[in-house]
Structure 1
Amino acid sequence: MSAFGDRRTALLARTDIDAVELPAVLCDLTDEWLIERFTSEVEASARADDAGVALVAVGGYGRSELCPGSDIDLLLLHDEVNTGDLADRVWYPIWDEKLKLGHAVRSVDQALELAVTDIDTATALTSARHLAGDAGLTERLRAGVRDDWQTNAAQRLEELERAVSRRHHLGGEVAFLLEPDLKTGRGGLRDVHAIGWASLAGIDLPPADQERLAAAYQTLLRARVELHRTTGLRSDVLSADDQDAVAERYGSVDADAFMADIARAGRVVAFLSDQLWSRAVRRAAATSAEPLQPDIEVGISGLSVHDGELVIDGDPATDVVLVLHAAVQSARKRLPLSRSSLAKLAERQPPFPEPWPHGARDLFIELLGCGHRAIGVIESLDFFDVWTRLLPEWAPNRNRPQRSRYHRFTVDRHLLEAVAEAARFTHRVSRPDLLLMGALLHDIGKGYPGDHTQAGMRLAGPIARRCGWNATDADTLVRLVQHHLLLTDVATRRDLGDPLTVTTVARATGTPEFLELLAVMTEADCTATGPMAWGGWTASLVSSLVEMTTEHLSGSDPAPTRHRRLLTDEVVELMAAGETALRVDGDMLTVVAPDERGLFSRAAGVLALRGLDVLQADAYSSPAGMAVSSFRIVPPDTPVDWDRVIYDVRRSLRGHLALEARIAERARVYRRRRALSATRAATTITFDAESATSATIVEVRTEDHIGVLYKVTRVLAEMGLDIRSAKIQTLANEVVDAFYVVGPDGPVIDPAHQREVELALRHVLTA
């Protein structure tokens, strides 16, 4: 490593420099090195002096904001002269240092001409900063850039607004995503840069807003610097695996407090960015021959429309429900609430009385029924601390992160996304009001101590009665909160072929009407949670469970379902033949063979050896001494070599494959990367003989690793347990597997045997 590299490494390791100040200090060090390199290369060239050529920093480097993983953006500027190989001699040392370089060689006229048609170039050149060489060239460039932004202000603002919209669509939201992109997400650093570029075209934020923006920017910049220093990577996505370590370097109490700070900063940036671009659009419309949107009549006393915004003319202090009228009209007509109206609500809106005024509940449900159009309206109200005057219980959930691999959003945004999804499904239920309110309340307990379901149940009843629902409806909302995880938990972790499974769900839900509400709310909740929570497999399992439970509640119990999905006509014929047979159907492998202990684990071991993750597994042993095991795999990125898999399964069944040794070798070679801050998933083992018919459920939660299913099932076989069925779930670095087993003495495993099984499982899983 060079002297510069040593100094850079030492600088990044220093803890006495505030993370917000580090980018400028790193810029100074880089400036010194590059100026020296450029000067020495000019002197060593055939050129007599540096006239007609200049080295210019642009982009983030030009702003003197160089994070540890930032690109070094440079422009070799010339005055229509031949620069020879000077650029290469300047660029190559940067590459040798393993730094990412953004580079170009252009004349002043070429740079300005490109900026006319390319918004990225136009914005990068706004921060052009002279490093070395002919300073006159740099000044000409800067003057040309200033002139372009002032002369073509309307065009530049339009291009910027389009670029911001595209970036927001791709980058998600800093405030509400659990793994936000600190730079390009909505509410991220790039939005602040865009506000700065807009100021060059004549659109500025008020001074008070600029102060708030600067404070939020420092929060995000500090986080980005510490993310780069912690991971040693250039990524600006603050992944869940890195949040603990970054939070520690940042100086937060813990990762949750750190992410709440990020969310608050992201909300400030996003709101002020929206305000600025709304002003820009309105200003453009005012000068256009065709106004953006003519003022319209709202038809509600106290509300009007001006310049494409909804304005509250009335007094919220005397008309407490006016805020809901405004919110509904804003969502329905896609009219943003004016800044002055939001400020008026913040100052004068009183808390809602208890009970709510007549008509308030209907307006509230109408707002929720606006779906995704309501989200921005509600979040604007919440940004000004108005939403909590309707729903005080909301406050602890604001900006609250979730330590879950399933979830994409913070608690507050997840609840609003769940409501928006539920709004799409209101035609499927007889009580849309309870569906929408249930979706809003189902996770509201997450902001409170203890189990979030129990906390939510305690909150839901009083909220419902305060809003005006009767005791029966309030009880329904409490039960929706109580059972909001029931259907997915049972469908993905219990045997749907066991009659006791359906009986248990029927007992909890009670009526077809409640089951209907719960099923639709479950789909809305899971869809809002993310793709890991609701896919084709989960949807089909929940649908089957709901269908069977509905039949049970209606008094027409379905025919016995145990193993009906497994024992197809083809499988029954294969079992009758008494020979070993393997069949592949899509992503499903079925193994039929003479029954012997360990058959299931050997097949599972081969799948692990071939790098295939099991999504679902079933097993059955017939009185005639034949067994069938089926495995549904997670579809991999590349086609599966099923011929090789079948060949290896046959070898393993004959005892001709050293599975344990081969899996151990694969684990050593393909060990999964563990992030710096990733914590090991705890291992828990439970036994449940009450929730299954003629079996004991052994549920294993542990850290995912190659061959974990093989290890667990091998231990179960060695401990004398026959696997009747299995439900397999893998979530990031954790597996949650449930096995229906029968012991040598019957379906109930005695406590002493349970202790030995648990000891054996813990040994093999933690070794």
Structure 2
Amino acid sequence: MPLTPTSSLAPSARERLTQVGRSRAERTRAADGRLRSLLSDAFAATGIPPTAGGVSVVALGGYGREELSAASDLDVLLLYDDRCPDVAAVAERLWYPLWDDRVALDHSVRTVAETSEAAAGDLRTALSLLDARHVAGDAALTIQLRTTLLAGWRRTAPRRLPELERSCRERAVRVGEIAALLEPDLKEARGGLRDGVVMRALAATWLVDVPQVNIARLRSGLLDVRDVLHEVGGRRPTDRLRADLQADVAAGCGLPDRDALLRYVYHLGRTMSHTADIAWRRAGRALAGRSVRRGSRTRPRPGPALTPLGPGVAAVDGEVVLAPEARLGTDPLLPLRAAYAAADHGLLLAPHTADRLGSTPATLPTPWPAEARRLFTALLGSGPDLLAVWETCDQAGLVNDLVPEWDRVRCAPQYSPVHRHTVDRHLLDTCVEASRLVRRVYRPDLLLVGALLHDLGKGERGERGDRDGEGGEPGRPARDHSVTGAEIAARLAPRWGFDQADTATLVLLVRHHLLLADTATRRDLDDPTTIRQVAAVVGDADTLDLLAALTEADARATGPAAWTPWRAALVGRLVGHVRRHLERGQVPAPGPLAQWQRALAREHVPGVVVEPPEIDGEPFRITAVAPGRVGSLATVAGVLALARLSVRSASVHTDGDVGVSIWTVAGEPPDPAVLRERLDAALSGRDQVAPRVARMDATHAAHGRPGLTAPADVRVASGASAAATVLEVRAHDRPGLFHQICAAVAATGCSVRSAHVSTWADNAVDVFYLTRPQGGPLDDGVAAQVAESIRTALDDRGTNR
């Protein structure tokens, strides 16, 4: 069910705000009546017949939009032409009585041509004139003015819209965003009343479809709050919702407290900002398309074609939509697939698509299947494009299906100036920051989910933060949000399909996400007891890496004051001490082969067995047998990649002179006989796999977003094994990644004793046990050379992208 800003208001608050809106309408009607009466008196005094024409009174700006507050100026234009014999006398009869009444008047006297010239010369004037509304006099003259102004606006839109968008960005930088300010400016801040005016102007260009009914509803909500703010402000009304006025404004709006007021205002502003972002993106594409059509000598092509992005999901004209074959209402993965496709490709998730998905839900089973969990964590790891996609999903009511506890943090204010954003936006910003740190951890999915969950315990009355500078609203009892968040994580993680061990890790991350920052800044790092206490909490080095990355992501998302070089150095020093105290656990070795797999290895070289998935669409297993020579593993990986199979995990075993690899893959289950023939052709050299995989990677890269993936991280895990050298590779996943790494290892002459491939979100974490041809670990120098060879190969591929 799509969300609306008023959906959480109590009936009493809705009634009170409705009364405020009625008062605003009454002020407009009163002003209209006064001006009509004054113009009638002016006609009588000057002897001009009312039916003569040639003069009209036009309301502009906020008055033209019928948005008069108690503190608003009366913006009035006296419009005339050569049929009016004495416009100066008419003007005097209009303005002087208003001045005598101490009305704040912004007036002008112009012809249609003069008004059109003023609009052409100044953007702000043009916006005000677009809201021209007839009040009294010659209605035909007002219609002529509006027709002229709108025609000029539409004609000059390609030139003026970039200027208007630039001014909006500059204003946002100067004033800030409504949902990021403890004292937001309801008019000028991003997402405020000024943006609503801009959206009206954008709609007037006819270039894009702007949801004007929604914009009007959002503006009405902000105007209601501003009207109450002006009443509370007394003789010095302000558009800034000052902290010392918030409690009184909340009461005037029928809301229980300032927390409820800020949530309401933030929701209005966030929705306005999101709507404006969508409109500007579409306007940009429309202007670009118009330029291409005008510059092309060819006939315009028919409408844009659908580009498939996944089952039931496609892209068209820069937006992700549902494909014709989409199983709406019966495919529970469809919303996640659409959201991830949009974020991964940097596209807009079409609002009407999100609304359709939200109004026709297909419930995910509990616990979630593995593919749902993969799509969810991949969405969280998609970087900055997560923000717009998540907001679209939230506006459509999809987020509550994914994270039932999201209501508690949606638009929840944070009363510390250290924080830049509301609780929900902070959680998403932490995911964005964590997506840049996934190379540092063995389980990126746990880092990303921990980022989403870490402050979910905030939002309800009484929760507080524990970092320096944080805190709940003054006067409220303090309660540790980390404890509440850990309880929420313990409920949500099993629902999302995480097993008991992963759930315990997520609970630990949420419960102790402030541990490193607090300890580093409040304890003696040279005291052995301090180190032992932290080590006892984290338990192992992998969890320490997760907690360290979450600490940094959380602090960076909070604001510059939370992650200074001093704090970063202290946390780094603490992590180093704890790491040295802990004994790094061995990378898990592959489990023993099943009896049938050993039999396959003895009887069939090459051999392939495909175990079909238990549920259609779920990952499945493939066992492949190949000669245990250097390079065979790369060949098998290449054959699987060319079969359009996405690797989720794999383990490799060497049994004598035969290699047995067990793969968990996603895709369409292949015919085992066909796959065996392809493997045989590749192993015998009849089919050159490497060039074909390279071409597939190039195609994949061409549809991605160049420059947005971090460089590969290749490291030697010292002391992880006494029998082999353990090499860890973290890189952005792509179809031919595992093949490329194996080929780079083979080129060095090393043997792969075993390998462990994991794909978390859109990142691969591959661990290789390497030995010399005659067995035993590599020399340190050789290991460093192998690591550098792999790093160079992956970076070259990244550059080619």
Paired residue for 2:268?
Answer: 265
What are the equivalent positions in structure 2 for 1:527-538 lying under 5 Å apart? 527-531=556-560, 533-534=561-562, 536=564
Greater CA drift, 242-251 or 468-477: 468-477
Q: Distance in 2 between matches of 1:187 and 1:459?
A: 31
* Contact 2:71–2:237 (Cα < 8 Å) also in 1: yes
Distance 1:548 1:494, change over 3 A: closer
Aligned equivalents of 1:487, 1:32: Cα separation in 2? 67
Task: Pick the aligned partner of 2:149 from 126, 145, 150.
Answer: 145
Structure 1 residues 554 and 89: CA distance shift in structure 2, 3 A: farther
Q: Which moved more, 1:340-349 or 1:119-128?
A: 340-349
Does residue 1:60 correspond to 2:58, yes or no?
Answer: no
State yes or no: 1:306 paired with 2:316.
Answer: yes
Structure-2 separation of matches of 1:69 and 1:129: 20
Percent of aligned positions with the same letter in both sequences? 40
TM-score by length of 2: 0.57
How far does the alpha carbon of each residue in 1:143-180 deviate from its partner, in whole angstroms, 9 at most, with x for none?
42244346556666666666556555655544565544
- AA aligned to 1:514 is T
Give the SS at the match of 1:310. strand
Alpha-carbon shift at residue 223 of structure 1 (Å): 0.8
- Give the number of equivalent residue pairs: 537
Determine if contact 1:70/1:234 at 8 Å carries over to the other structure. Answer: no
More deviation, 81-90/226-235: 81-90
SS at match of 1:289: helix
Aligned partner of 2:467 in structure 1 is none
Question: Which residue in the other structure is 2:392 paired with?
Answer: 380
Gaps of 5+ in 2: 1-15, 294-299, 462-478, 583-801
Displacement of 1:439 in angstroms is 0.9
**Within-5 A mapping of 1:113-262:** 113-129=117-133, 138=142, 140-149=144-153, 172-174=176-178, 178-202=182-206, 211-232=213-234, 233-262=236-265
1:356 paired with 2:368, answer yes
**Correspondence for 2:481:** 452
Worse-matched range after superposition: 409-418 or 167-176: 167-176
SS at match of 2:494: helix
1:503, distance to aligned residue in structure 2 (A): 5.7
Quote how far apart the aligned CAs of 1:244 are. Answer: 1.9
Kept in 2, the 8 Å contact 1:515–1:546? The answer is no
Paired residues of 1:219 and 1:265 also in contact (CA < 8 A): yes
**1:375 Cα deviation after fit:** 1.2
CA distance in 2, matches of 1:355, 1:98: 68
Aligned to 2:449: 437
Cα distance in 1 between the residues matched to 2:173 and 2:197: 17
C-alpha distance in structure 2 between counterparts of 1:256 and 1:87, whole Å:
48
RMSD across aligned positions (CA):
4.5
1:128·1:142 contact (CA, 8 Å) conserved in 2? yes
Q: What letter is aligned with 1:328?
A: Y
Q: Deviations over 1:171-198 (max 9, x none)?
A: 5544565544433444433343334334
Q: CA deviation at 1:414?
A: 1.6
Q: Distance in 2 between matches of 1:147 and 1:335?
A: 32
Question: 1:32 and 1:511, CA in 2 relative to 1: closer, same or farther beyond 3 A?
Answer: same
Taking the aligned partners of 2:182 and 2:33, their CA distance within structure 1 comes to: 39
Which SS does the other structure have where 2:321 is aligned? Answer: strand
Task: Report matched runs for 1:631-670 at 5 Å.
Answer: none
1:476 equivalent in alignment to 2:477: no
1:341–1:37 distance in 2 versus 1, CA, 3 Å: closer
Task: State the AA in 2 paired with 1:406.
Answer: V
Q: Distance in 1 between matches of 2:451 and 2:78?
A: 57
Instruction: Return the alpha-carbon distance in structure 2 between the equivalents of residues 169 and 243 of structure 1.
Output: 24
- The reply on whether 1:20 has 2:24 as its aligned counterpart is no
**Which structure 2 residues correspond to residues 440-589 of structure 1 after superposition, within 5 A?**
440-447=452-459, 451-492=480-521, 504-531=533-560, 533-534=561-562, 536=564, 539-548=565-574, 550-551=576-577, 553-555=579-581
SS in 1 for 2:187: coil
8 Å contact from structure 2 (residues 183, 242) kept in 1: yes
Residues in 2 aligned to 1:363 and 1:71: alpha-carbon distance in whole angstroms = 53
Distance 2:143 2:304 in 1: 45
Residues in 2 aligned to 1:398 and 1:133: alpha-carbon distance in whole angstroms: 49
Deviation at 1:336, TM superposition (A): 1.5
1:368 equivalenced with 2:380 (yes/no): yes
Secondary structure of the equivalent of 1:444? coil
Cα distance change of structure 1 residues 344 and 58 upon mapping to structure 2, 3 Å threshold:
closer
- Cα distance, 1:312 vs structure 2: 1.9
Can you give the 5+ residue segments of structure 1 that lack an aligned partner in the other structure? Answer: 1-14, 557-767
TM-score (norm 1): 0.59
Aligned AA (1:520): A
Q: Does 1:419 align with 2:431?
A: yes
- Take 1:160 and 1:89, find their aligned partners in 2: how far apart are those partners? 37
Name the amino acid aligned to 2:64.
Answer: G
Amino acid at match of 2:340: V
**CA deviation after TM superposition for structure 1 residue 415, in Å:** 0.8
